[in-house]
Amino acid sequence: MRKAIIAGNWKMNMCPDEAMDLVTELIPLVKDAPCEVVVCPPYIDLLAVGKLIQGTNIQLGAQSVHWAPKGAFTGEISADMLAFLGVQYAIVGHSERRQFFGETDETVNKRAAAALAAGITPIICVGETLQQREKGVTDAIVSKQTTAALAGFSAENVKKSVIAYEPIWAIGTGKTATAEDANATIAVIRKAVACIYGDKVAGALRIQYGGSMNPKNAAELMAMPEIDGGLIGGASLKAEDFAKVVNYL
């Protein structure tokens, strides 16, 4: 059985005081959650949030990670730096990083590998644009992104990773793939992994849905056999909303 994982991606929101208020409110609301709970605040909040969630069932995530251990990479942050702060997860290759900051399949692979080397679990994002979906190439796109992201990984590192299927057309738009469509695409992702690593590894890999999961649709999406959690954007910025998603049962 794959344990579900629901992660909140706060994106560029919340100063430390706001972050601490949110997490303080969230802690009692998710203490009995049926899944792993992760919050991914901006870098400036990691220290404060990390201290607050010590001893709770909430885990700490970052929104990206660089592949180099150190160097002249202005504005980036290394896996060792994140590990020092107690970060356990790192989002890699989010569509906004691909769209606005030049992420490629190659850099996604390098970032994910660096995270794993530091003992951090990468949440590797894949997904198609609306144009690609309308052309009927969704399966080809997500399969290509998945295999590229995992290139050179051992079977054990694949099983340690998390993939998030995030249809780009559904992020921040309020649009959501039907539960059946999301489940079918995640099955395609799992099949792409199985073709390289076998059914056992693919069956152990957790794959989230990341396209506008919210309190209204979480239960339906989480009931799908291929969906192992969610990467939550807007709904993670309010403790009550995020708690409703986390407590989807």
Domain region containing 193: 5-246
Query: Which is the catalytic residue, given 36, 66, 94, 103?
Result: 94
CATH number of 124's domain: 3.20.20.70
- pTM of the full structure: 0.96
Is 66 known to be catalytic? no
- Kindly report, residue by residue over 196-238, the tens digit of the pLDDT: 999 999 999 999 999 889 999 999 999 999 999 999 999 999 9
Task: Note whether 170 and 212 are within 8 A (CB).
Answer: yes
Q: What secondary structure does DSSP assign to 126-188, as a single string?
A: E---HHHHHTT-HHHHHHHHHHHHTTT--HHHHHH-EEEE--GGGSSSS----HHHHHHHHHH
Angle at 64 between CA 125 and CA 240, to 5 degrees: 75
Strand duo 229-232 + 5-9: pairing: parallel
More confident: 43 or 169: 43
pLDDT of amino acid 211? 82
Give the burial class of 122: count Cβ atoms within 10 A of its Cβ; 0-12 exposed, 13-18 middle, 19 or more buried: buried
Residue 236: predicted pLDDT: 97
Q: Please tell me which residue in 36, 96, 128, 166 is annotated as part of the active site.
A: 166
pLDDT, tens only, 15-63: 999 999 999 999 999 999 999 999 999 999 999 999 999 999 999 999 9
pLDDT of residue 196: 97
* Planar angle of CA 22, 27, 33, nearest 5 degrees: 125
In the predicted model, is pLDDT for residue 172 greater than 80? no
Residue 175 has pLDDT above 90, yes or no: no
Number of independent structural domains in the chain:
1
Nearest to 176 by CA among 147, 216, 134, 143: 216
Q: Is there a catalytic annotation at residue 94? A: yes
Over residues 119-143, the pLDDT tens digits come to: 999 999 999 988 899 899 999 999 9
